[in-house]
Amino acid sequence: MDYLEMPKLDLHCHLDGSINLTLAQELLRERGEEVTLPELRERMQVPEHCTSLEEYLKTFALPLALLQTEDSLRRAAFQLAMDCAEERIVYLETRFAPMCCREKRLTAERAIRAVCEGLARAQAKLAAEGRYFRAGVIVCAMRHMTAEENSAAFRAAREQLGCGVVGVDLAGAEAAYPNAMFRDLFAEAVRLGLPITIHSGETGSRDNIREAVAMGARRIGHGTAMRGDHDLEQLLAKQRIGVEQCPTSNLQTRAIPGISACPVREYLRAGVPVTLNTDNRTVSGITLTHEWREVDRAFSLTGEERDALLRNAIETSFADDDVKEELTRICLNGAKWL
C-alpha cells in the first residue's frame, strides 16, 4: 500500500509539537538567533532514551517560546497545513493551548483567530491548486493551569466555534492532574456546546478514560491504558467514542514497549472507533505516513482494517456532515483529487 499517496486524516496533532523545523529556524533568526537545522532538531526532538511523558513534554519549551505572536501562530498553522497536504492528509484537526501563548500579552481570542487564519490561508492556496484540504482547531485547556484560565480558553473557543474552531481538549501531565479535577470545566464545555476530546489513558489510568466518558468526551486522546479492558472497550464501542491512537508518541513516552504492543487491532476487533494520528510531528520526528507504515509493518493491516481506520476517523472527526460526505468520497470511494 502506498501510504504517502493514500488520502488520510489526522485528528490528534499538536501545533507546537509539529512546528516545521525550517520555519522554527526562520523565527529564531528573526529574533537574532542563528541555529542550524541539525542543532534545532537536537533541541526540539524527543531524546532517544526518553523515559516518560514528563520528559517528553520538556521538548515543548522551545516551540512554545516561538509561538507567542499572532504572526508566528499564523505562519506555524499555515506551514503545518501545507506539510500535511504534502503527504495527502485531506483533513486535519490541530490543537494548541492559547493560554500558553501569553508571554507578550496575546489574548486567547487573538491567538485562536491567528491559527484559524493560517489554516484558512493554506486551505485557500490548496483549493486554488485543485487540492482538497480541510482543517479545524481544537483549543486545549492545560492541566497545570487555573480553573479561571482554562474557562477563559473555552469561552474564547466558543466564540469561534464554526469559524475555524471545532472542539476542545485537556492536555498536560495526566498523572499529576487526573481528569476528575476538571469536571466543572467540562460541564461548562458541554453547556457551551463544544465538542470534546480529552487526553486520557496515555499514562496508564483507565479511570481517566471512564471519567472522560462521564464528562462528555466524544473522543479519547491515546486511550492506550484501555488495553485488555473489554468492559471499557464495549462502553466506547457502544457509544461510538473515538480513540485517537498515536503509536510512536506512545513508544517514546514508554506507554507501550513496541509498536506491536499498540492496541490498534485489539480496538478494531472490539468495534471501538480507533484512528491513527501523529500527536507531535516535529517532537517525535515523524509524519502520519510514517505512523501508517509502522503500524502496517507490525500488524500487516488488511484492506478492511485500513478502511475501518479511515471510516472511524471520518465518523469521529468534528467536521460537519458536508465535509464528512466529501471525505468519505475521497478516502473510501476513491474519488480522484490532485
**Which residues are marked as active site?**
202
Per CB under 5 A, contacts with Zn ion among 63-92 are none
By C-beta, is 279 or 291 nearer to Zn ion?
A: 279
By C-beta, is 188 or 279 nearer to Zn ion?
A: 279
Q: What share of the chain is helix, strand, coil (3-state, %, to 5)?
A: 55, 15, 30
By C-beta, is 126 or 245 nearer to Zn ion?
A: 245
DSSP annotation of 279 reads B
Site string for Zn ion, 88-117 (x = CB under 5 A): ------------------------------
E strands, the chain, are: 8-14, 89-96, 134-142, 165-171, 197-200, 219-222, 242-245, 274-276
| Residue 241 to residue 136: CA distance in whole angstroms | 19
By C-beta, is 8 or 306 nearer to Zn ion?
A: 8
By C-beta, is 279 or 326 nearer to Zn ion?
A: 279
Q: What is the longest distance spanned by two Cα atoms in the chain?
A: 55
Shortest distance, position 285 Cβ to Zn ion, whole Å: 16
The residue nearest Zn ion at its CB is 279
Shortest distance, position 335 Cβ to Zn ion, whole Å: 30
| Residue 10 to residue 123: CA distance in whole angstroms | 15
Shortest distance, position 97 Cβ to Zn ion, whole Å: 11
Q: What is the Cα Rg of the chain in Å? A: 18
Shortest distance, position 280 Cβ to Zn ion, whole Å: 7
| Residue 209 to residue 215: CA distance in whole angstroms | 10
Q: Which of 74, 166, 78 is nearest to 123 (CA)?
A: 78
- Collect all residues with Cβ–Cβ distance below 8 Å to 258 and sequence separation of at least 6: 251, 298
Shortest distance, position 325 Cβ to Zn ion, whole Å: 28
- Count of residues interacting with Zn ion (CB under 5 A): 1
Angle CA(109)–CA(111)–CA(112) in degrees, nearest 5? 65
Per CB under 5 A, contacts with Zn ion among 194-223 are none
Per CB under 5 A, contacts with Zn ion among 270-329 are 279
Kindly list the residues in this chain that would bind Zn ion in the complex (CB under 5 A). 279
